[in-house]
Amino acid sequence: MNLEAVMQELEAIGKERTKKIYMSNGAHEPLFGAATGQMKPIAKKIKKDQSLAEQLYATGNYDAMYFAGVIADPDIMTEADFERWMDGAYFYMLSDYVVAVTLAETDIAQEVADKWIASGEELRMSGGWSCYCWLLGNRPDHEFSESKLEAMLEMVKNTIHDSPERTKYAMSNFMYTVAVSYTPLHEKAVETAKAVGPVEVNKDTKKSKFLQASENIQKAVDKGQIGFKRKYVRC
């Protein structure tokens, strides 16, 4: 399939209601409002196609950019490719659910995510923390340095309340994911989440709310989900 054919198929499955939901989360035109679940039949026809993924991502159309992540070939993507994709990720659904997810399937994932966390840029930081969440939820514990993750929990404790908005969400999710998916630091993550307490987001708007990592971890404990690993990172 070529770019034009894929764009036509994405447009055909687009719905106004889905489009409105995406826009309320930060997406902007151009977009069709294609539900991600309905992209699967198109993805099956294409499988992996990095060259097509690059063309789709470059359109700036949110649905096309998302689908680019579905058919991307992470094994041949370089750090420069991920940096370019992150440059184009204009809101968190791209930085955290397309770029970070695709990065999580590579051997350079931690190295690139570390740079993004240290960048001071909201969406790069958010993508970096999110990448670790995807990694921890999928890869065996022995692939991680316990002392490094412990230092990252400490960083969350010390900086989350003063971090940019979207970064707060990803950092809160990191505490939760370490507690649930990385058993060696379960207790430490629980302690950290308690020490952090509720994290206020959107405090200058009417939609102000609090992120409660501690409560969410307790719910996972109650459901017996500790040690959970997902089979695949990308759907």
Which residue's structure tokens are 């992996």?
A: 48
Q: What is the pLDDT of residues 73-107, one digit of tens each?
A: 999 999 999 999 999 999 999 999 999 999 999 99
Q: What is the pLDDT of residues 176-193, one digit of tens each?
A: 999 999 999 999 999 999
Which pLDDT value is given to residue 207? 81
55 touches 71 (CB < 8 A): no
**Who's near 200: CB < 8 A, 6+ residues apart?**
161, 208, 209, 210
Which pLDDT value is given to residue 232? 81
Whether residue 141 is predicted with pLDDT greater than 60 in this model: the reply is yes
**139 vs 235, higher pLDDT:** 139
Whether residue 36 is predicted with pLDDT greater than 90 in this model: the reply is yes
Which pLDDT value is given to residue 235? 55
Which residue's structure tokens are 């010390």?
A: 158
Which pLDDT value is given to residue 177? 98
Q: What is the pLDDT of residues 190-234, one digit of tens each?
A: 999 999 999 999 877 778 899 999 999 999 999 999 999 998 887
Single-letter amino acid code for the residue at 9: E
Predicted TM-score (pTM) of this structure: 0.95
Sorting pLDDT into bands at 50, 70 and 90, what band is 119?
Answer: very high
Dist CA 98 CA 68 (whole Å):
8
185 touches 144 (CB < 8 A): no
Closest C-alpha among 43, 122, 131 to residue 79:
131
Whether residue 144 is predicted with pLDDT greater than 80 in this model: the reply is yes
**Average per-residue pLDDT for the chain:** 96
Cis peptide before 164 (omega within 30 of 0): no
